[in-house]
Amino acid sequence: MRSFAALRILRRIAVLPIALAFGTALVGATASGQPVDGIPCDATEGSVFHIHPHLTVLARAKPVEIPADVGRPVTSSCLYWLHTHTSDGLIHIEAPKFRTFTLGEFFDVWGQPLGATAVASARVRRGDLHAYVNGKPYKGDPRKIELSQHTDITLEAGAPYTKPVPFTDWRGQ
């Protein structure tokens, strides 16, 4: 029986690199190099379109970390047009051409859900996700929030709700 259990563990270890090698989209996993929503993962940072929005996520008033290196897969040496370098919520859009980018696309590259009832690890009842764009309430689909230079987005998943704190620390970006 012991050897059978060991075999199962070995099988699990063997499957993981295969899944990564084929770029399988694992549910809830950060994108690993395959195009996401038509956004490729390029070898170098695009220099034509370069903007920085900011995202704050609060789950019942507690900050949810937006990790560093979203869109910079460790398994391939490439960089998505949407990515992060730091864990302070600053999003980098560095693309070789102009196009519209949305918050939903950022969450897709991150591999996290965004919708009326889910924001990353936070789950809420319908109507309990409050979104703000540049300090103003945003009533539409949060996935469709457009990302522009210095767009300041706050998502509050569940009470207690607070007035969004404007992000100002752009550090010349």
Give residues in contact with Zn ion (CB under 5 A): 92
At residue 36, what is the residue type?
V
Smaller CB separation from Zn ion, 54 or 92: 92
Q: Which long-range contacts (CB under 8 A, 24 or more apart) does 159-168 make?
A: 159/60, 159/61, 159/128, 160/60, 160/61, 161/61, 161/130, 162/58, 162/61, 164/56, 164/132, 164/135, 165/56, 166/135, 167/54, 167/56, 167/89
Smaller CB separation from Zn ion, 58 or 103: 103
Min dist. Cβ of residue 150 to Zn ion (A): 12
Smaller CB separation from Zn ion, 14 or 48: 48
Min dist. Cβ of residue 131 to Zn ion (A): 24
Which stretches of the chain are assigned E, i.e. beta strand?
A: 41-42, 49-51, 54-59, 62-64, 79-80, 82-83, 92-95, 118-119, 122-123, 129-133, 136-138, 152-157
Smaller CB separation from Zn ion, 92 or 130: 92
Smaller CB separation from Zn ion, 72 or 92: 92
Min dist. Cβ of residue 145 to Zn ion (A): 19
Min dist. Cβ of residue 47 to Zn ion (A): 10
Residue nearest to Zn ion (CB): 92
Min dist. Cβ of residue 52 to Zn ion (A): 6
